[in-house]
Protein backbone atom coordinates (compact mmCIF):
# COMPACT_ATOMS: atom_id res chain seq x y z
CA UNK A 1 0.00 0.00 0.00
CA UNK A 2 1.57 3.30 -1.07
CA UNK A 3 2.29 5.78 1.67
CA UNK A 4 2.66 9.54 1.44
CA UNK A 5 5.82 10.84 3.10
CA UNK A 6 5.47 13.04 6.17
CA UNK A 7 8.15 15.55 7.23
CA UNK A 8 9.99 13.89 10.06
CA UNK A 9 10.89 10.47 11.43
CA UNK A 10 12.19 9.95 14.95
CA UNK A 11 15.46 8.03 14.53
CA UNK A 12 17.81 7.05 17.38
CA UNK A 13 16.62 9.90 19.57
CA UNK A 14 16.37 12.70 17.02
CA UNK A 15 13.87 13.93 14.50
CA UNK A 16 15.31 13.61 11.00
CA UNK A 17 13.85 14.47 7.61
CA UNK A 18 11.86 11.65 6.01
CA UNK A 19 14.38 11.36 3.15
CA UNK A 20 17.31 11.11 5.57
CA UNK A 21 15.96 8.21 7.64
CA UNK A 22 18.17 5.69 5.82
CA UNK A 23 20.36 2.69 6.70
CA UNK A 24 23.41 0.96 5.22
CA UNK A 25 22.85 -2.02 2.91
CA UNK A 26 24.75 -4.21 5.39
CA UNK A 27 22.23 -3.53 8.16
CA UNK A 28 21.95 -6.77 10.14
CA UNK A 29 18.15 -6.78 10.25
CA UNK A 30 17.93 -6.41 6.47
CA UNK A 31 19.79 -9.72 6.07
CA UNK A 32 18.43 -11.75 8.97
CA UNK A 33 15.05 -10.22 9.82
CA UNK A 34 16.35 -9.45 13.29
CA UNK A 35 14.02 -6.61 14.22
CA UNK A 36 10.86 -6.10 16.24
CA UNK A 37 8.07 -3.65 15.53
CA UNK A 38 4.64 -2.33 16.39
CA UNK A 39 1.68 -0.96 14.51
CA UNK A 40 -0.35 1.69 16.32
CA UNK A 41 -3.17 3.97 15.23
CA UNK A 42 -4.04 7.49 16.29
CA UNK A 43 -7.54 8.89 15.74
CA UNK A 44 -9.10 12.35 15.78
CA UNK A 45 -11.32 13.02 18.81
CA UNK A 46 -13.24 16.08 19.95
CA UNK A 47 -10.30 16.87 22.28
CA UNK A 48 -7.60 16.50 19.62
CA UNK A 49 -5.73 13.55 18.14
CA UNK A 50 -5.23 10.59 20.50
CA UNK A 51 -3.18 7.41 20.20
CA UNK A 52 -5.11 4.22 20.90
CA UNK A 53 -3.54 2.15 23.70
CA UNK A 54 -0.11 3.59 23.01
CA UNK A 55 1.48 2.39 26.25
CA UNK A 56 0.15 -1.15 25.72
CA UNK A 57 1.73 -1.21 22.25
CA UNK A 58 5.05 0.13 23.50
CA UNK A 59 5.03 -2.44 26.31
CA UNK A 60 4.48 -5.20 23.76
CA UNK A 61 7.35 -3.78 21.69
CA UNK A 62 9.66 -4.06 24.70
CA UNK A 63 8.40 -7.53 25.42
CA UNK A 64 9.22 -8.53 21.80
CA UNK A 65 12.70 -6.98 22.22
CA UNK A 66 13.21 -8.95 25.42
CA UNK A 67 12.39 -12.22 23.67
CA UNK A 68 15.10 -11.44 21.08
CA UNK A 69 17.57 -10.35 23.82
CA UNK A 70 17.80 -6.84 22.39
CA UNK A 71 19.22 -4.24 24.71
CA UNK A 72 17.17 -1.18 23.76
CA UNK A 73 18.99 2.11 24.37
CA UNK A 74 15.71 3.96 25.11
CA UNK A 75 13.04 3.55 27.78
CA UNK A 76 9.40 2.81 27.10
CA UNK A 77 8.61 6.36 28.28
CA UNK A 78 11.03 7.66 25.60
CA UNK A 79 9.22 5.70 22.89
CA UNK A 80 5.78 6.78 24.13
CA UNK A 81 7.03 10.38 23.86
CA UNK A 82 8.60 9.74 20.44
CA UNK A 83 5.34 8.23 19.12
CA UNK A 84 3.37 11.30 20.19
CA UNK A 85 6.06 13.56 18.79
CA UNK A 86 5.90 12.11 15.27
CA UNK A 87 2.15 12.63 15.22
CA UNK A 88 2.52 16.21 16.49
CA UNK A 89 5.40 17.43 14.33
CA UNK A 90 3.92 15.96 11.18
CA UNK A 91 0.56 17.64 11.82
CA UNK A 92 -1.31 14.32 11.64
CA UNK A 93 -4.35 15.65 13.55
CA UNK A 94 -6.75 13.62 11.45
CA UNK A 95 -5.21 10.40 12.72
CA UNK A 96 -2.45 8.17 11.37
CA UNK A 97 -0.60 4.89 11.67
CA UNK A 98 2.52 4.83 13.83
CA UNK A 99 5.33 2.35 13.19
CA UNK A 100 8.00 1.94 15.90
CA UNK A 101 10.85 -0.34 14.78
CA UNK A 102 13.78 -1.67 16.79
CA UNK A 103 16.44 -3.20 14.59
CA UNK A 104 20.10 -4.14 14.46
CA UNK A 105 22.42 -1.83 12.57
CA UNK A 106 25.47 -2.41 10.39
CA UNK A 107 29.04 -3.16 11.43
CA UNK A 108 28.58 -6.81 12.36
CA UNK A 109 27.63 -9.77 10.20
CA UNK A 110 26.81 -13.36 11.01
CA UNK A 111 24.08 -15.02 12.94
CA UNK A 112 25.07 -13.86 16.40
CA UNK A 113 23.04 -10.66 16.81
CA UNK A 114 24.32 -9.81 20.27
CA UNK A 115 27.27 -7.56 19.28
CA UNK A 116 25.12 -5.45 16.93
CA UNK A 117 24.09 -1.87 17.60
CA UNK A 118 20.41 -1.67 18.52
CA UNK A 119 18.71 1.15 16.62
CA UNK A 120 15.23 2.58 17.01
CA UNK A 121 12.96 4.47 14.64
CA UNK A 122 9.39 5.71 14.94
CA UNK A 123 7.60 6.85 11.78
CA UNK A 124 4.00 7.93 11.25
CA UNK A 125 1.89 8.42 8.17
CA UNK A 126 -1.69 8.74 7.16
CA UNK A 127 -3.15 5.30 6.37
CA UNK A 128 -6.63 4.53 5.14
CA UNK A 129 -8.54 1.29 5.59
CA UNK A 130 -6.15 -1.65 5.44
CA UNK A 131 -8.51 -4.19 3.89
CA UNK A 132 -10.53 -1.61 1.93
CA UNK A 133 -13.65 0.46 2.67
CA UNK A 134 -15.78 -2.15 0.99
CA UNK A 135 -14.32 -4.85 3.29
CA UNK A 136 -15.04 -2.83 6.43
CA UNK A 137 -18.63 -2.24 5.28
CA UNK A 138 -19.62 -5.52 3.68
CA UNK A 139 -17.02 -8.04 4.74
CA UNK A 140 -14.04 -9.73 3.14
CA UNK A 141 -13.40 -13.08 1.49
CA UNK A 142 -10.93 -15.33 3.29
CA UNK A 143 -8.97 -18.34 2.13
CA UNK A 144 -7.37 -20.97 4.33
CA UNK A 145 -3.71 -20.78 3.40
CA UNK A 146 -1.52 -23.67 2.32
CA UNK A 147 1.15 -21.94 4.45
CA UNK A 148 1.00 -22.82 8.14
CA UNK A 149 1.39 -20.32 10.94
CA UNK A 150 4.73 -20.76 12.72
CA UNK A 151 5.21 -23.33 15.43
CA UNK A 152 5.96 -21.43 18.69
CA UNK A 153 9.09 -23.56 19.06
CA UNK A 154 10.33 -22.54 15.61
CA UNK A 155 10.06 -18.81 16.21
CA UNK A 156 8.62 -16.86 19.14
CA UNK A 157 5.09 -16.28 17.87
CA UNK A 158 4.24 -14.11 20.88
CA UNK A 159 6.80 -11.54 19.68
CA UNK A 160 6.32 -9.22 16.73
CA UNK A 161 9.59 -10.03 14.98
CA UNK A 162 10.15 -8.54 11.53
CA UNK A 163 11.61 -11.71 9.98
CA UNK A 164 8.61 -13.76 11.03
CA UNK A 165 6.45 -11.79 8.60
CA UNK A 166 7.74 -13.63 5.54
CA UNK A 167 5.23 -16.27 6.60
CA UNK A 168 2.40 -13.71 6.58
CA UNK A 169 3.56 -12.27 3.24
CA UNK A 170 3.63 -15.68 1.56
CA UNK A 171 0.12 -16.43 2.79
CA UNK A 172 -1.13 -12.98 1.78
CA UNK A 173 0.24 -13.24 -1.76
CA UNK A 174 -1.20 -16.73 -2.18
CA UNK A 175 -4.66 -15.51 -1.11
CA UNK A 176 -4.54 -12.37 -3.28
CA UNK A 177 -3.39 -14.31 -6.36
CA UNK A 178 -6.24 -16.75 -5.85
CA UNK A 179 -8.69 -13.83 -5.82
CA UNK A 180 -9.38 -13.57 -2.07
CA UNK A 181 -8.85 -10.61 0.24
CA UNK A 182 -6.97 -12.25 3.08
CA UNK A 183 -5.52 -15.57 4.27
CA UNK A 184 -6.36 -17.59 7.36
CA UNK A 185 -3.43 -19.56 8.72
CA UNK A 186 -3.73 -22.83 10.58
CA UNK A 187 -1.28 -23.83 13.30
CA UNK A 188 0.87 -26.94 12.74
CA UNK A 189 -1.73 -28.98 14.67
CA UNK A 190 -4.40 -28.00 12.14
CA UNK A 191 -6.26 -25.64 14.45
CA UNK A 192 -7.09 -22.09 13.43
CA UNK A 193 -4.38 -19.61 14.36
CA UNK A 194 -4.92 -16.15 12.85
CA UNK A 195 -4.79 -14.13 9.64
CA UNK A 196 -1.66 -12.57 8.15
CA UNK A 197 -1.91 -9.49 10.39
CA UNK A 198 -5.16 -9.94 12.31
CA UNK A 199 -6.78 -12.13 14.96
CA UNK A 200 -9.91 -14.02 14.03
CA UNK A 201 -13.27 -14.45 15.80
CA UNK A 202 -16.41 -16.47 15.14
CA UNK A 203 -19.90 -15.92 16.52
CA UNK A 204 -22.07 -18.94 17.18
CA UNK A 205 -25.34 -19.08 19.10
CA UNK A 206 -24.78 -15.57 20.44
CA UNK A 207 -21.32 -16.41 21.84
CA UNK A 208 -17.98 -15.22 20.53
CA UNK A 209 -15.08 -17.62 20.12
CA UNK A 210 -11.45 -16.85 19.31
CA UNK A 211 -8.41 -19.17 19.37
CA UNK A 212 -6.26 -19.32 22.52
CA UNK A 213 -3.56 -16.96 21.30
CA UNK A 214 -0.39 -18.48 22.71
CA UNK A 215 -1.42 -22.11 22.12
CA UNK A 216 -2.49 -21.37 18.54
CA UNK A 217 0.71 -19.44 17.77
CA UNK A 218 -1.26 -16.24 17.20
CA UNK A 219 -0.12 -12.82 18.35
CA UNK A 220 -2.03 -11.62 21.42
CA UNK A 221 -3.69 -8.69 19.69
CA UNK A 222 -4.40 -5.45 21.47
CA UNK A 223 -7.47 -4.96 19.24
CA UNK A 224 -8.48 -8.53 20.11
CA UNK A 225 -8.29 -7.67 23.83
CA UNK A 226 -10.22 -4.43 23.25
CA UNK A 227 -12.94 -6.30 21.37
CA UNK A 228 -13.17 -8.86 24.16
CA UNK A 229 -13.77 -6.05 26.65
CA UNK A 230 -16.32 -4.39 24.37
CA UNK A 231 -18.15 -7.70 23.84
CA UNK A 232 -18.26 -8.44 27.57
CA UNK A 233 -19.62 -4.93 28.23
CA UNK A 234 -22.29 -5.54 25.59
CA UNK A 235 -23.24 -8.69 27.49
CA UNK A 236 -21.82 -11.10 24.90
CA UNK A 237 -19.81 -14.02 26.24
CA UNK A 238 -16.32 -14.44 24.74
CA UNK A 239 -14.14 -17.50 25.14
CA UNK A 240 -10.79 -18.65 23.84
CA UNK A 241 -11.32 -22.06 22.29
CA UNK A 242 -9.49 -24.22 19.80
CA UNK A 243 -11.19 -23.86 16.40
CA UNK A 244 -10.93 -25.79 13.15
CA UNK A 245 -11.65 -24.44 9.68
CA UNK A 246 -15.20 -25.80 9.58
CA UNK A 247 -16.01 -23.67 12.64
CA UNK A 248 -15.61 -20.72 10.31
CA UNK A 249 -17.57 -22.31 7.46
CA UNK A 250 -20.55 -22.93 9.75
CA UNK A 251 -20.34 -19.84 11.97
CA UNK A 252 -23.26 -17.44 12.28
CA UNK A 253 -20.82 -14.55 11.94
CA UNK A 254 -17.07 -14.10 11.71
CA UNK A 255 -14.75 -11.11 11.86
CA UNK A 256 -11.11 -10.23 12.24
CA UNK A 257 -9.31 -7.58 14.27
CA UNK A 258 -6.01 -5.74 14.07
CA UNK A 259 -4.67 -2.24 14.53
CA UNK A 260 -4.21 -1.65 10.81
CA UNK A 261 -7.31 -3.62 9.75
CA UNK A 262 -9.50 -2.48 12.70
CA UNK A 263 -12.69 -4.62 12.93
CA UNK A 264 -13.59 -6.26 9.63
CA UNK A 265 -16.49 -8.65 8.95
CA UNK A 266 -15.71 -11.91 7.13
CA UNK A 267 -18.36 -12.71 4.56
CA UNK A 268 -16.89 -15.85 3.00
CA UNK A 269 -14.35 -18.50 3.94
CA UNK A 270 -13.12 -20.83 1.18
CA UNK A 271 -16.19 -19.93 -0.94
CA UNK A 272 -18.61 -20.83 1.87
CA UNK A 273 -20.82 -17.92 2.83
CA UNK A 274 -20.59 -17.06 6.51
CA UNK A 275 -24.15 -16.70 7.87
CA UNK A 276 -26.16 -14.91 5.19
CA UNK A 277 -23.03 -13.35 3.70
CA UNK A 278 -23.59 -9.98 5.32
CA UNK A 279 -22.07 -8.52 8.50
CA UNK A 280 -24.09 -9.98 11.38
CA UNK A 281 -25.63 -8.05 14.29
CA UNK A 282 -22.94 -8.85 16.88
CA UNK A 283 -20.11 -8.04 14.46
CA UNK A 284 -21.79 -4.77 13.53
CA UNK A 285 -22.38 -3.76 17.14
CA UNK A 286 -18.77 -4.51 18.09
CA UNK A 287 -17.42 -2.72 15.03
CA UNK A 288 -19.50 0.39 15.73
CA UNK A 289 -18.51 0.43 19.39
CA UNK A 290 -14.83 0.01 18.49
CA UNK A 291 -14.95 2.92 16.00
CA UNK A 292 -16.71 5.08 18.59
CA UNK A 293 -14.22 4.07 21.33
CA UNK A 294 -11.11 4.92 19.28
CA UNK A 295 -12.60 8.35 18.52
CA UNK A 296 -13.20 9.08 22.20
CA UNK A 297 -16.98 8.81 21.94
CA UNK A 298 -17.44 6.18 24.67
CA UNK A 299 -16.75 7.36 28.22
CA UNK A 300 -16.02 3.92 29.62
CA UNK A 301 -13.12 3.45 27.15
CA UNK A 302 -11.52 6.88 27.58
CA UNK A 303 -8.57 5.28 29.38
CA UNK A 304 -7.55 3.65 26.10
CA UNK A 305 -6.75 7.04 24.58
CA UNK A 306 -3.42 8.80 25.02
CA UNK A 307 -3.69 12.36 23.79
CA UNK A 308 -0.87 13.80 21.70
CA UNK A 309 -1.40 17.27 23.23
In angstroms, rounded to a whole number, what is the distance separating the alpha carbons of residues 192 and 59? Answer: 26
Closest by Cα among 48, 33, 159 to 95: 48
Q: Applying CB under 6 A, does 83 fall inside the site for ligand PPE? A: no
Choice among 84, 143, 160, 172 that is catalytic = 160
Query: Nearer Cβ to ligand PPE, position 64 or 259?
Result: 259
Q: Applying CB under 6 A, does 197 fall inside the site for ligand PPE? A: yes
Identify the burial level of 17 via C-beta atoms within 10 angstroms of its C-beta, where 0-12 means exposed, 13-18 middle and 19 or more buried. exposed
- Nearest 5°: CA angle at 198, between 40 and 290? 60
Q: What are phi and psi of 289, to 5 degrees?
A: -65, -40
Query: Nearer Cβ to ligand PPE, position 122 or 261?
Result: 261
The region of 16-24, 75-83, 110-118, 259-267 touching ligand PPE under the rule CB under 6 A is 259-267
Choose which of 198, 247, 268, 306 interacts with ligand PPE (CB under 6 A). Answer: 198
* 275 within 8 A of 302, measured Cβ to Cβ: no
Query: Residue 192 CB: number of other CB atoms within 10 A?
Result: 26
Catalytic (active site) residue 160: yes
Looking only at residues 211 through 230 of this chain, which bind ligand PPE when binding is defined by CB under 6 A?
A: 218-219, 221-224
Query: Nearer Cβ to ligand PPE, position 101 or 275?
Result: 101
Looking only at residues 45 through 64 of this chain, which bind ligand PPE when binding is defined by CB under 6 A?
A: none
**Where in the sequence numbering do the catalytic residues fall?**
160
Q: Give residues in contact with ligand PPE (CB under 6 A).
A: 39, 168, 194, 197-199, 218-219, 221-224, 257-261
Amino acid sequence: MPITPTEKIWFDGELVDWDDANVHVLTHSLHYGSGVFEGIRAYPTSSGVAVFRLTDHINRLFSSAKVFLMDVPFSSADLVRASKEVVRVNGLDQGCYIRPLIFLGDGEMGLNPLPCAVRVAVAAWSWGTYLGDEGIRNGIRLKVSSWQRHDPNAVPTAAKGTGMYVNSSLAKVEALKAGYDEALLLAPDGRVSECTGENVFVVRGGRILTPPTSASGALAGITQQSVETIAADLGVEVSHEALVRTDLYTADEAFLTGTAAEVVPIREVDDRMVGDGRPGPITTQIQQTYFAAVRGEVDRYKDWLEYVG
